[in-house]
Homo-oligomer: A and B are copies of this chain.
């Protein structure tokens, strides 16, 4: 038996586009002589469809897509993920399902059992879990159909769940396992996933075909990396990361095992590729081509510009240098050098005149009040406004250049440097931004050395340095990781050896700046806990604040 797995980049709600992509893949699989082709989770409507699932019209369109796909299931079986209606009155209205299509019609439907409801996942908001488990019989083989999280409670050892779908099916003697996934990328996920697959095939002694979504859906990045795994726990083949790909396997070959093919998984390289695909798909799926961003000469905007140029092509990236009286010469030179290295269009617009006009109007009202953060914010906002003017006039999406460390402690100006349609490096800690820059330079200098090695500064007042307001980034990031990623409280973090006053100050800054993060662009997610939909915090609260 020959099995095709297709890791494709679906588009939420684009039923027509998703269908034609799948129909094309079916033809490819047929040409490969496949008996069966399997797509990823909720591939008719794209994952995650979020509250669109509450619209009957949306569900109807997904059902229509399955019906159309079923007609193509002639001389080949198709397994496709799509929402289905729960006909029982009690419980949620829908299931997250895997449809088995054969002979031009729907042969069988298996629902998802384990519904992740944590971090970026809201599945129990929409779906009822499966209560029936039945293998699919196909050409003399029995197939155990599972969906994503279903294989993440191996032998019921995951404390979140009380049922293990494969334990329920194993008595029916399946020959192999199919898993339809939409499993988001994070720097630890690729590794973990292989471990989970290995544990499953070893427990059941069966080969597994794992099909993951590949591509970005706004902030959530799916890395593909679909796998055919042999019963001995070897990776028979792993499909590439962040690419669409169809591959056909001979079941007998996979069953044999002994072959181990893995691809490199360097953390910084993965982040780099994830962010490039994130930018590329954000633009592509919105129907935009061109980006704009402000280049300060600092490392954050430099790294963002490089990612944009690699995602969209240098001809589609435009940058504006907006020096003020506090900008150092080297900043302008560094920014210009980067733009020239990348071959992107750049313009220089000094902000002094606009700033002065503002201050002239505000002066009578500010009489007797000392200069403070207000004046710094005005500079940042003049820049944001100029960039948005270019965005509006020429149809470029403004890219936000804030890193995760700054975003965490609120070191940024709302409606100023926090402007933008997409936050590219908002889930990358400053210490990793440096590593990204070095990685980008590995085949020759792209990011100017001076941009990497000079002390970070917002340049909003004379001789300003980030460390005037913030601790050194290596310490700041270490504390932030404990609080944000590991959800440790102040007591636990202090016990790790960090300074008490510093820890309390950092945690307080994180909490009181929730209002800023509430108003920022979607953040491309690369860690296990990114700002945005996966981290839901009250704005008005008093905890550690």
Contacts and interface: CB of A to CB of B under 8 A. Distances in A.
Contacts of A490: 57
A389 B358 contact: yes
A49 B156 CA distance: 30
Contacts of A369: 393-394
Given A57-B489, A415-B419, A46 B378 contact: no
Interface stretch (A180-188, A191-199, A434-442, A530-538): A530-538
A286 to B, nearest CB: 6
Contacts of A52: 537-538, 541, 543
A106 B162 CA distance: 29
Nearest to A511: B13
A365 B159 CA distance: 59
A355 to B, nearest CB: 9
Nearest to A286: B540
Nearest to A519: B519
A347 B361 CA distance: 12
A13 B122 contact: no
Given A90-B162, A374-B393, A285 B540 contact: yes
Given A50-B537, A519-B520, A536-B51, A542 B124 contact: no
B487 A55 contact: yes
Contacts of A92: 160
Contacts of A90: 156, 159-162
B353 A357 contact: yes
A455 interface: no
A543 B118 CA distance: 25
Contacts of A487: 54-56
Nearest to A391: B374
A242 interface: no
B385 A378 contact: yes
A492 B46 CA distance: 23
A27 B388 CA distance: 57
21 contacts: A11-B541, A12-B542, A46-B538, A51-B535, A55-B487, A57-B491, A58-B489, A91-B160, A117-B122, A218-B540, A285-B542, A349-B361, A349-B365, A353-B360, A354-B357, A372-B393, A382-B385, A388-B414, A415-B415, A519-B520, A519-B521
Interface of A: 11-14, 17, 46, 48-52, 54-58, 60-61, 89-92, 117-118, 122, 124-125, 156, 159-162, 217-218, 281-282, 285-286, 347, 349, 353-354, 357-358, 360-362, 365-366, 369, 372-374, 377-378, 381-382, 384-386, 388-390, 392-394, 414-415, 419, 421, 487-492, 515, 518-522, 533, 535-545
